[in-house]
Structure 1
Amino acid sequence: MWDLLDDDGARQTPAPSPLADVLSLFDEPDAGPMSWQERALCAQTDPEAFFPEKGGSTREAKKVCTGCEVRAECLDYALANDERFGIWGGLSERERRKLKRRVV
């Protein structure tokens, strides 16, 4: 690190590098507890598919979930928060209840 001194001999802080701004674009997204939602495929599709009417098809939503990189985080969230409606992590509410019974 360079030691920069002004005319009075006081230490100066170097100006931030423009490269730092560019490199910040490649930083990991906020690693908060819900950051997985930003990478979820369902966030890019019609939300109604994930909350079908009673007796409606869940096929479309589950198809999206199969290719989602955050499927496990989504399912963990639904199980931890006792989500009662919708498709979460590729499972319907009924499927999540069955899964919970097997785990407990």
Structure 2
Amino acid sequence: MKTIKFNIHKEEAKKRIIEYGKKYNFRISKWSGNLILLNESTDSFSSEEFEQTTIVFFKDNEILYTLIKEGRKTNFPVLFSQHFTKRAFTKILNQTTIEPQKSYFSAFFNEL
């Protein structure tokens, strides 16, 4: 599990993570108390449909999160997904105001 610390109220952090999930069309399958699960379909070249789940657990002033990805044994894309997720979560949990973005990938590639 990875850890990200933040300086905002825990309820505000939960709200931001849920807004992030809705913005990027994650399926928020279960969230309660201190746990949020964000599910998304993964692009796969097979006829099977796989999902990636981001598990976010809230403590006082930090989150613990990890990604679980269904699929083949060689699962290199999850390494990149963890990096992108950490970057996105860190940004939304540490900004003072929520900034609108065009989309996840356009924001990543057009950032100066």
Smaller-chain TM-score bracket: under 0.3
Q: Point out the structure with the larger helix share.
A: 1
Q: Point out the structure with the larger strand share.
A: 2
Q: Return the TM-score normalized by structure 2.
A: 0.22
Larger Rg: 1
